[in-house]
């Protein structure tokens, strides 16, 4: 079956609800028009005694994905998703996080280097009605980060319902590069997700064995909480800070007119050099910053294309995945229409050289650790017995510390995927560099700092990082698969950093 093509259909004047293969949409949920892309409120915090303070309210609400249909959701200072937090490298910050969602939750600062007690992982639970106030210094390169629920065994569901937002870290060094940086004008957060809906208008979150094995995906593409969004460009160049905020889907992004764009950033930094491409692969949890030139005045659609087989990363299972989901080969999501309007304001040239990063090499490492990602699909699993998702043969146990790292050490983590599906591997606390993928050095898009890396079936990826600044022998950091259903099902481990 051909999967939905929202935006092109709308441009052609066709209503799209009928085109959805597996949502049971409410009758009212006809999508007859494009929605202006919502830009989350920018929160700069308030400076108090040298500490920048952010007040975040985790709340319940309703959100109109479809005009006139009120879908129950969760958000942070918003009905769905959260405010964009702007931080400055070098500043001390405090985040007052109040839990008003009526159930236990946590809030994790994905990609930020911080003390374990401030991490917002499964050990920093916020009970309903309570406020949690972590405090730390922003020690980061300028980049796009995010925050989301990390509630033990509930992360998938809580993020699906809306508990996620974007963090922008800026610094003087990169501000001097003259990249587009007017928030909401030419510097745009783009949170890509897809969702399934039930007939009553609710977000449908499945907990079947299949949903757990494959991770939860949907058939309705959503950007910053909007279905079929349009962004009106008023400048020649726009900078998109793209977050793959889906629970489980890998995106192979590009534009429908195959226009070239510049990739300038990865998860935790700008790239050493910008480079031109037509495709961008992003696994769940990963970010990239790109610059799109629309000075030709022509509209273009940001879309995800199925695996073309030409990918340098060679994600072999994507086809199998599509077939297993009944999609029949390559599936396509149209995420966002970009429409230039009027006389476009001139934008500065994007420099090729962006940042210099201290490149770590294998000989800098004090230690190499090995991690094996496994999925067990034997008869016991089919009966619902045993733990299908493990790392080094172990499923997550909050009471067990799996790895102990010496403060100040530089380590290589060699991550092998012996399962049949790709897994985006995320490490808390640090930003790492990719040494190689099956022995091959990373491509230009993976030469910046990273905190999440896709490890394809059969692949071995080596990363290197220095574990600095914060030691705590009691409270652990997490490493895990960022397919949230895999994480919730046990594909996670814990490490401490000790002095």
H/E stretch holding 405: strand 403-406
Q: Does 489 bind Cu ion (CB under 5 A)?
A: no
Identified binder of Cu ion from the candidate list 463, 481, 489, 497, rule CB under 5 A: 481
Cβ at position 417, least distance to Cu ion in Å: 9
Q: Does 315 bind Cu ion (CB under 5 A)?
A: no
Residue spans of beta strands (DSSP E) within 218-278 = 220-223, 226-227, 229-235, 237-244, 251-255, 261-265, 270-277
Cβ at position 373, least distance to Cu ion in Å: 7
For Cu ion, which is the closer residue by CB, 262 or 484? 484
For Cu ion, which is the closer residue by CB, 96 or 387? 387
| Measured CA angle at 423 (ends 309, 484), to 5 deg | 125
For Cu ion, which is the closer residue by CB, 239 or 423? 423
3-state secondary structure string, 10-59? HHCCCCCHHHCCCCCCCCCCCCCCCEECCCCCEECCEEECCEEEEEEEEE
Per CB under 5 A, the segment of 189-197, 264-272, 342-350, 420-428 that binds Cu ion is 420-428
Q: Does 483 bind Cu ion (CB under 5 A)?
A: yes
For Cu ion, which is the closer residue by CB, 300 or 454? 454
Cβ–Cβ under 8 Å, residues 41 and 83: yes
For Cu ion, which is the closer residue by CB, 265 or 490? 490
| Measured CA angle at 370 (ends 367, 372), to 5 deg | 170
User: Which of 37, 264, 290, 45 lies closest to 141, judged by CA?
Assistant: 264
Q: Does 423 bind Cu ion (CB under 5 A)?
A: yes
For Cu ion, which is the closer residue by CB, 250 or 467? 250
For Cu ion, which is the closer residue by CB, 237 or 480? 480
Cβ at position 455, least distance to Cu ion in Å: 9
Per CB under 5 A, the segment of 137-145, 305-313, 335-343, 485-493 that binds Cu ion is 485-493
Q: What is the CA radius of gyration of the chain?
A: 21
For Cu ion, which is the closer residue by CB, 138 or 373? 373
Cβ at position 208, least distance to Cu ion in Å: 17
How many C-alpha atoms does 155 have within 13 Å on its Cβ side?
34
Q: Facing residues of 390 across strands?
A: 374
End-to-end alpha-carbon separation of the chain, Å?
57
Q: Facing residues of 301 across strands?
A: 337
Cβ–Cβ under 8 Å, residues 375 and 389: yes
Whole-number Å distance between alpha carbons of 11 and 13: 5
For Cu ion, which is the closer residue by CB, 120 or 424? 424
Q: Does 248 bind Cu ion (CB under 5 A)?
A: no
Whole-number Å distance between alpha carbons of 180 and 178: 6
Cβ at position 185, least distance to Cu ion in Å: 37
SS3 242: strand
Cβ at position 30, least distance to Cu ion in Å: 35
CA 408 to chain CA centroid, nearest Å: 28
Cβ at position 418, least distance to Cu ion in Å: 12
Which phi and psi angles does 173 have, rounded to 5°?
-55, -50
Identified binder of Cu ion from the candidate list 174, 486, 490, 495, rule CB under 5 A: 486
Q: Does 95 bind Cu ion (CB under 5 A)?
A: no
For Cu ion, which is the closer residue by CB, 303 or 481? 481
Size of interface with Cu ion, in residues (CB under 5 A): 4
Whole-number Å distance between alpha carbons of 29 and 25: 6
Cβ at position 491, least distance to Cu ion in Å: 5
Per CB under 5 A, the segment of 53-61, 294-302, 432-440, 475-483 that binds Cu ion is 475-483
DSSP state of 219: S
3-state secondary structure string, 52-119? EEEEEEEEEEEEEEECCEEEEEEEECCCCEECEEEEECCCEEEEEEEEECCCCECCEEECCCCCHHHC
Per CB under 5 A, the segment of 133-141, 169-177, 256-264, 479-487 that binds Cu ion is 479-487
Cβ at position 119, least distance to Cu ion in Å: 21
Per CB under 5 A, the segment of 24-32, 293-301, 442-450, 481-489 that binds Cu ion is 481-489
Cβ at position 388, least distance to Cu ion in Å: 10
For Cu ion, which is the closer residue by CB, 163 or 492? 492
Q: Does 426 bind Cu ion (CB under 5 A)?
A: no
Binding site for Cu ion (CB under 5 A): 423, 481, 483, 486
């Amino acid at each position: 079956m051909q999967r939905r093509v929202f935006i092109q259909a709308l441009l052609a004047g066709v209503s799209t609800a009928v085109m959805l293969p597996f949502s049971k949409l409410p009758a009212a949920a006809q999508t007859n028009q494009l929605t202006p892309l919502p830009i989350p409120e920018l929160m700069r915090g308030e400076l108090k005694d040298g500490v920048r303070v952010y007040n975040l309210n985790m709340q319940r609400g309703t959100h109109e994905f479809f005009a006139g249909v009120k879908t129950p959701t969760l958000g942070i200072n918003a009905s769905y998703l959260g405010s964009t937090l702007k931080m400055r490298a070098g500043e001390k910050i405090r985040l007052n996080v109040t839990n008003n969602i009526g159930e236990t939750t946590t809030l994790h600062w994905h990609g930020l280097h911080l003390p374990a007690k401030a991490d917002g992982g499964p050990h920093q639970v916020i009970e309903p009605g309570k406020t949690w106030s972590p405090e730390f210094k922003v020690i980061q390169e300028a980049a796009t980060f995010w925050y989301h629920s990390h509630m033990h065994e509930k992360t998938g569901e809580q993020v699906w319902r809306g508990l996620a937002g974007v963090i922008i870290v800026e610094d003087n060094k990169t501000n001097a590069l003259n990249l587009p940086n007017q928030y909401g004008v030419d510097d745009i957060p783009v949170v890509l997700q897809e969702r399934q809906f039930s007939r009553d208008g609710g977000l449908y979150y499945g907990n079947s064995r299949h949903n757990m094995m494959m991770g939860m995906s949907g058939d309705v593409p959503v950007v910053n909480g909007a279905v079929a969004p349009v962004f009106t460009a008023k400048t020649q160049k726009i900078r998109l800070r793209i977050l793959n905020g889906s629970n489980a889907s890998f995106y192979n992004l590009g534009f429908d007119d195959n226009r070239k764009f510049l990739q300038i950033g990865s998860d935790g930094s700008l790239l050493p050099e910008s480079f031109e491409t037509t495709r961008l692969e992003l696994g769940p949890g990963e970010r990239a910053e790109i610059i799109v030139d629309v000075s030709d005045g022509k509209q273009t659609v940001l879309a995800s294309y199925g695996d073309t087989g030409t990918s340098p990363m060679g994600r072999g299972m994507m086809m199998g995945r599509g077939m297993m989901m009944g999609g029949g080969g390559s599936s396509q999501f149209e995420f966002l229409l970009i429409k230039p309007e009027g006389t476009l304001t001139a934008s500065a040239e994007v420099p090729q050289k962006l940042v210099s990063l201290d490149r770590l090499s294998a000989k800098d490492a004090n230690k190499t650790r090995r991690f094996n990602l496994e999925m067990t699909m034997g008869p016991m699993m089919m009966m619902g017995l045993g733990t299908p998702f493990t790392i080094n043969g172990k499923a997550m146990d909050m009471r067990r510390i799996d790895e102990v790292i010496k403060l100040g050490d530089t380590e290589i983590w060699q991550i092998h995927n012996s399962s049949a599906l790709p897994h985006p591997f995320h490490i808390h606390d640090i930003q790492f560099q990719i040494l190689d993928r099956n022995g091959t050095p990373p491509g230009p898009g993976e030469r910046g700092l990273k905190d999440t890396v896709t490890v394809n079936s059969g692949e071995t990826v080596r990363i290197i990082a220095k574990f600095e600044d914060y030691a705590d022998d009691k409270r652990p950091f997490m490493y895990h698969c960022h397919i949230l259903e895999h994480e919730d099902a046990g594909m996670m481990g814990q490490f401490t950093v000790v002095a």
